[in-house]
Structure 1
Amino acid sequence: MSLINQCKELKKASLILEMANTNVKNDALESVCKSLIKNQDFILKENQKDIQNAKRKNIKESLIDRLALTEDRIQGMIDGIRRIIDLKDPIWQSNKVWTLENNLTISKMTVPLGIIGIIYESRPNVTVDAFGLALKSGNGILLRGSSSAICSNKALVKAIKEGLRNSKIPEGVIELIEDTDRNVVKEMIRLNDYIDLVIPRGGKGLIDFVVQNATVPTIETGVGNCHIFVDESANQKNALKIIENAKTQRPGVCNAIETVLIHKQIAKEILPNLYQLLKDRVELRGCEITQEIIPVVPATEQDWQEEYLDYILAIKVVENLEQAIAHISKYGTKHSEAIVTENYSNAKTFQRRIDAAAVYVNASTRFTDGGEFGFGAEMGISTQKMLPRGPMGLEELVTIKYTIQGNGQIRE
């Protein structure tokens, strides 16, 4: 099916979806859960094709991990859909109703955006997350995954459509672009007559291309050059635990840290312990002061800018909180930043001064995630200054409509 025909199918199906009540949408989502369970072996088999292709291309292990599906990860997708089922329907809600002196009653109501296009790399779980959020919020979803995950995405969409066929929601509310030609992306992001919003989710190259070339309204999701600053007052045991988790739990994701900033007053004490903790798993790159304390690869200017998505960590010793904030302000990507400190004033200063979608005190940056925030899943993590910002759940996938009730009023 051509891209235009897919969009036409989405438009037609979305007219039915936008009028569906909560029970109908939830029943459809539960039917998809059952279909994912039923088709699990087929999905895993197709995913292995993508993994083998990635290995033949010598893709690094951290990125293969992003691509890989397991029984647990499929169950995680299903759990995410069921959490979405349990969430309040965001459509046709109003938090503001008022009556004018002329007795006109105005309501500010939430309504679906329409058709959402999402362009994403690797991570086939995004296929299911995006679908679940789109359906519950009354939106059609057009998916354009990467060629590296094409077999997985086709299998997942096939299972989703099978589930929808056993519901009252038409299967046309989800469409996958199977053509992996990059020119299709350029066509997609200019289909203003069919698509209401485009969300790019991936590396800097993809995001920049979409933002710079789209005529369809776009939400800028961000690259994750994330930092942890260890203040001089930090509980060092907690600091080491947080750094280890934020770097090694899943290094190939956007909320993993890439740089650690250490207050100079504790550098000689904490750096040897950090080295012992990570030296066998992570390549450490450090500034001149760090090099004097522990054996690391010399860091370059490029290291402070890099989103490694790998087992690599840059370390810089800073004079104070102000220098840490200045470093993050210069090199950060407005995604997720953290401070480890026992100083209340420093914690509040850091949270107020750092310009990022998520700012943590004494916790890992790995929590910047729709599921972890209680949203069920996420459509992406927006790092732009205009709303929405941060993990995009159901409440971020609606627009507003003003409904006005009168009894014959005319304007003089």
Structure 2
Amino acid sequence: MTTALVIGAGVAGPVAAIALRKAGIAAALYEAHPGAADDVGAFLTLQTNGIDALRAVDAHRAVTGLGFPTPSMRFLSGTGKPLGEVSTGAPLADGTVSHTLRRADLYRALCDEAARRGAAVHHGKRLVDAESAADGVRARFADGTTAEADLLIGCDGLRSRVREIIDPGAAPARYVPVLNIGGYTRSVRPGAPPGEYQMIFGKRMFFGWAVAPDGEVWWFANPPRRAEPAPGELAAMTTEQWRSWLVDLVAGDRTPAREIIEATPGDLRGWATYDIPAVRTWHRDRMIIIGDAAHATSPASGQGASMAIEDAVVLARCLRDIADVPAAFAGYEALRRSRVERVVAQGARASSSKAAGPVGRVFRDLLLPLVLRRAAGDNGASLAWIHRHHIEWDAPVDVPALARR
């Protein structure tokens, strides 16, 4: 049986292990963290195309019951003026809609499912180097151990070591001029239907929140920051410094943002936003990168997890149907590059609108209602290329068609 080393156990890694096993390839996961990552304040939206991709490999049940449905987004200005409402993607045939869930819960569920299907999961394994030969790949880890397999798949995220090994001259991640922070509170009851995102283009900061079915408020904020933070700068900020800054940024907005921020218990920690517009080399010999390692997108796209899941499923199909590993990697790239780079570009545009200056804000708030009405009026057709993307697992990969690309 063909074997694979999968580096990284976030989203792409476990789904890759699951999909590879379904394709008849044995996979082992190697994760740098010693255990489950501390993910306070971090949640994400798993959109319908990502859920559909999980169904392709019968892994969707692993995440059933996590989080809550979030089928729509309502946009408002900082004055509370309604700007428009759109869906987060057309429902699947059975009515399933996009879900919001804690990132740590998703990681854990997918890792557990990969292990249940026979993938060994090794924690505390930070990749240092890897080298490929004609018949396989050998990986070396920071603890001095090594591992060998027929191929290696880098699912190690934005700061991917596998990407550096494949192409030492690869372009670095690009800073996006907004920060991210979020949290949860049960101490306020802002008026909104459960599961409907309230997206607020405040005068000085973008703020979003949704109410879970149990009444808990899940929120996030994107403080604008033109200059990239210095290493360690954000980590050095205390909870009270974050809270004071966020409250100051929403001062004057007629929204529940200040009340939500002040009512949030526990630590507040923020992080910088990055994306990767284009990585010139995704694979070399028997090594390849997928997910954020190959095409990190701004969280504003709402597609990071879903793109990673799609990647894993498509790669497994290519390896199943194309016997030569480098050719399978090339086929995978032909199927994925255009789509994911388009998603990254869309996420960058969405992030830029959150960091608009005084003049840009005026034009944005004038034009956004028109854009949102058009999007709502076409019943999601303009975004169908994202949300209605379907991967047919049983369909063979069309090798001749890929060769013509």
Highest RCO, 1 vs 2 (Cα 8 Å, sep ≥ 6):
2
Bigger Rg, which one: 1
TM-score strictly above 0.5 = no
Which is richer in strand? 2
Which is richer in helix? 1
